Amino acid sequence: MSDYKDKYEMVIGLEVHAQLKTQTKIFGREGCEFGREPNTETGTVTMALPGALPVLNKECINMGILAGLALNSKIPSRCKFDRKQYFYPDLPKGYQISQYDEPICQGGWVQISNKKIGITRAHLEEDAGKLVHAGASGLYGSAYSLVDLNRAGTPLLEIVSEPDMRSSEEAREYVEKLRNILKYIGVCDGNLEEGSMRADCNISIRPIGQKEFGTRAEIKNVNSFRSLVRAIEYEFIRQAEIIEEGGKVIQETRLWDDNSGTTSSMRGKEDAHDYRYFPEPDLMPVEISQEWIDSVKAKMPELPDEKVERYIKSGLSEYDANVLVNQIDMAMYFDELLKKGADAKTASNFLMGEVAAFLKEEKITINESKLTVDNFVKLLDLLKKGTISNNIAKGLVIDILNTGKDAQALVEEKGLSVISDESSILPIVQKIVQSNPEQVAAYKGGKDKLFGFFVGQAMKETKGRANPQLLNKLLKQELDK
Ligand code: ADP
Ligand code: MG
C-alpha cells in the first residue's frame, strides 16, 4: 500500500450538501425540523398535488448570500432555478428544483492549514425525502419500502469544490473547516449523523508527476469524518490496484459501506444532459442587488479564522486558539468570559484542562454544566487577587461543576484562602526544618534540588494554602541560618 503512495497521487473534489437552518422548506410552508413524526411536514408542493406552485423562501437566498460571502464567493446579480429530472419515489414531483447554470455563488475558497481549497460554485436546491427499506427478503417476498416525505423540500446549499485536495487528511480538514464556517454564520448545524451535512466524494488517482487527472469515481453515503477518511483510503487502493493490473478506472457512482469498509458500484455516472435541465417555469429568476448583499454582509458574525487571530492576540497559543474555536459552544462561552474581564490565558487553561476533562467524562456540554460564566469569572478573580492558589482553584472548578455552588462561598466554607501571614507560616517552616536534619544537611552540602522537598512538605502541611512567595522566603531564611 505504501508503494502505491510513492507511485500515485490522489486527487479529490468534494460536493458538500449543507441543510440550511430555515424554519420552513425552500418552496413551501411546512417546517423542516429533524425527527418529526413521518409525513407530518408534507404540503401541497412536497406532495406534488395538481396545481400546487412553489414559492421561494427568501431566507434561503439570505443564507446563500451569507454563506457565499463567508466562502469568498462572488454573488452574481441574478440567479435562477432549474428543473433536474429524474425518478425518485421520495420526490413526488418527478424532478428536483435546483440551480444549474446560474447558481447563487460563484468561485471562492476555503483556507485549510497548508493551502486554499478552491470553491467552484454553490447552489440552492431542495432535498429528497427518505426511503426506509424494510423486510428485505426474497424478490417479491416480504420486501417493501416506506416513504417519509418530511425531508423532501428542505433547503440545501450544495458547495462544490475544485479538485484541489491531495490526501484524505486535506479532505477531512476541508470539510471540518467548511462545517465550522457554516455553523458560525448560523446557516447549518453541521450535524453529520442527522444528515444535515453530507459529502459526496470524487476521487481519482494519477502517477506522481502527471499533469492530467485520472478518471474519477464518486462516492456517496459518507456520513462521518471517519468514514470520509476510510472511504478515500479504500478507494485509492482500489483504483491503484486496477491500474497496476493494467485495467481502467471507470467513471461511476459508488456507495460506501461503513460496516465492511468498502465501496461498491451503485450506478454508472450520468452526464448533466441526461437530466434534461431546463429553467423552472414556476419561479422567476432572483435579482440580487448590491444593497441586498450589503445588508446581509452587515450581519456577518466573526468567522472562525478571525476568532483564532483574536484569541492568539489575547495571549493564547495557536494550538489552543484552534482547539477552542473548533468547539463552537466552548468558544462562545469563552467569549462571554472575556467580555466579563477574565484573563484569556488563565481562562483557556482551565477550560481546556479541568473543565474539558470533566465535560468529556460526564458527556455533557459546557452549557449543560453547572459552571455559569459569572461564577467562573468570580473564581478566576479570587485566583487573580491571590485569595486562592492555582491548585486550589483547579479543585474548586471541579467542585462547582459538580455542585454549582458559589465560588466565594466555597472558599469561605472550606477555608481555602491563601495563608499570607508570616506568623502562621513560620512555625510550620521551623517545624519542617527541625524534623528533617538529614535533608537539611544534604541541602547545605550543595544539594539545591532539595529545596523543592521542603516546599512540598510545607504545602502538604497547609493543604496547599501557603502563599508561595512568602513560603520560599521563610524557608530560605531558616535553611540559611
Ligand atoms: P457532477 O455533478 O457530475 O458530479 P460536478 O462537476 O458538479 O460533476 O462535480 C464534480 C466534482 O468532482 C467536483 O467537486 C470536482 O472538483 C470533482 N472532480 C472533477 N474531476 C475530478 C477528478 N478527475 N478527480 C477528482 N475529482 C474530480
Ligand atoms: Mg456529483
Q: What single string gives the DSSP state of each residue in 51-76?
A: T------HHHHHHHHHHHHHTT-B--
Indicate the pTM of the whole model: 0.86
Same domain for 128 and 20: yes
**pLDDT digits over 400-427, tens only?**
999 999 999 988 887 777 788 888 889 9
Ligand nearest to the CA of 202: 1
297 within domain boundaries: no
Choose one of 15, 167, 213 to mutate for the ligand 1 pocket test, by most ligand atoms within 8 angstroms of C-beta: 15
441 within domain boundaries: yes
Looking at residue 2, what is its pLDDT? 58
Portion of the chain with pLDDT greater than 70, in percent: 98
Looking at residue 132, what is its pLDDT? 85
Q: What is the mean pLDDT of residues 52-74?
A: 98
Same domain for 346 and 272: no
Portion of the chain with pLDDT greater than 90, in percent: 79
Contacts for 278 with CB less than 8 Å, ≥ 6 apart:
82, 83
Q: What is the mean pLDDT of residues 194-208?
A: 95
Q: What is the mean pLDDT of residues 193-219?
A: 95
Same domain for 453 and 315: no
Atom of ligand 1 nearest to the CA of 204: 24
Pocket residues for ligand 1 (CB within 6 Å)? 11-15, 160-163, 202-204, 213, 216, 218
Give the span between the Cα atoms of 69 and 72, in whole angstroms. Answer: 5
31 within domain boundaries: yes
Domain housing 357: 302-414
Distance 16 CA to ligand 2 centre (A): 10
Question: Which of 390, 414, 438 lies at the terminal end of a domain, its last residue?
Answer: 414
Residue nearest to atom 2 of ligand 1 (CA): 272
Q: What is the mean pLDDT of residues 39-64?
A: 96
Atom of ligand 1 nearest to the CA of 271: 3
CATH label of the domain that carries residue 465: 1.10.10.410
Atom of ligand 1 nearest to the CA of 161: 14
Same domain for 461 and 393: no
Q: How many CB atoms lie within 10 A of CB 37?
A: 8
* CA distances in angstroms from 93 to 84, 100, 156, 208, 280, listed in the order given: 11, 18, 17, 46, 12
What are residue 121's DSSP bridge partners? 106, 160
pLDDT bucket at 386, cuts 50 / 70 / 90: confident
Question: Which of 414, 445, 471 lies at the terminal end of a domain, its last residue?
Answer: 414
Same domain for 119 and 49: yes
Distance 144 CA to ligand 2 centre (A): 28
Cell of 281: 417555469
Residue nearest to atom 14 of ligand 1 (CA): 13
pLDDT bucket at 1, cuts 50 / 70 / 90: low
Looking at residue 235, what is its pLDDT? 97
Same domain for 408 and 270: no
Q: What is the mean pLDDT of residues 472-480?
A: 90
Same domain for 169 and 59: yes
Residue nearest to atom 24 of ligand 1 (CA): 204
Q: What is the mean pLDDT of residues 361-378?
A: 96
Looking at residue 104, what is its pLDDT? 98
| C-alpha neighbours within 13 Å on the C-beta side of residue 126 | 34
Residue nearest to atom 4 of ligand 1 (CA): 218
261 within domain boundaries: yes
Same domain for 325 and 229: no
**pLDDT digits over 14-37, tens only?**
999 999 999 999 999 999 888 899
**pLDDT digits over 302-357, tens only?**
999 999 999 999 999 999 999 999 999 999 999 999 999 999 999 999 999 999 99
Q: Which long-range contacts (CB under 8 A, 24 or more apart) does 360-363 make?
A: none
Same domain for 369 and 470: no
437 within domain boundaries: yes
Q: Minimal CA–CA distance to 216: which of 16, 14, 17, 18?
A: 14
Distance 127 CA to ligand 2 centre (A): 14
Looking at residue 79, what is its pLDDT? 97
Give the span between the Cα atoms of 388 and 465, in whole angstroms. Answer: 7
Residue in the block written with cell 482551565: 350
Residue nearest to atom 17 of ligand 1 (CA): 13
Question: Which of 398, 414, 430 lies at the terminal end of a domain, its last residue?
Answer: 414
Q: Is residue 17 within 8 Å of 197, Cβ to Cβ?
A: yes
Instruction: Report the number of distinct structural domains present in the chain.
Output: 3
Distance 137 CA to ligand 2 centre (A): 31
Q: Minimal CA–CA distance to 61: which of 302, 282, 300, 287?
A: 287
Atom of ligand 1 nearest to the CA of 214: 23
Q: Is residue 161 within 8 Å of 109, Cβ to Cβ?
A: no
Same domain for 348 and 280: no
Residue 139 has pLDDT above 80, yes or no: no
426 within domain boundaries: yes
Distance 35 CA to ligand 2 centre (A): 27
Same domain for 405 and 353: yes
Same domain for 188 and 115: yes
Looking at residue 464, what is its pLDDT? 82
Read off the amino acid at residue 132. Answer: V
Distance 160 CA to ligand 2 centre (A): 8
Contacts for 242 with CB less than 8 Å, ≥ 6 apart:
248, 249
Residue 296 has pLDDT above 70, yes or no: yes
Give the span between the Cα atoms of 294 and 87, in whole angstroms. Answer: 40
Cell of 252: 461511476
Looking at residue 136, what is its pLDDT? 59
Give the span between the Cα atoms of 157 and 149, in whole angstroms. Answer: 19
218 within domain boundaries: yes
460 within domain boundaries: yes
Ligand nearest to the CA of 220: 2
Choose one of 9, 106, 110, 160 to mutate for the ligand 1 pocket test, by most ligand atoms within 8 angstroms of C-beta: 160
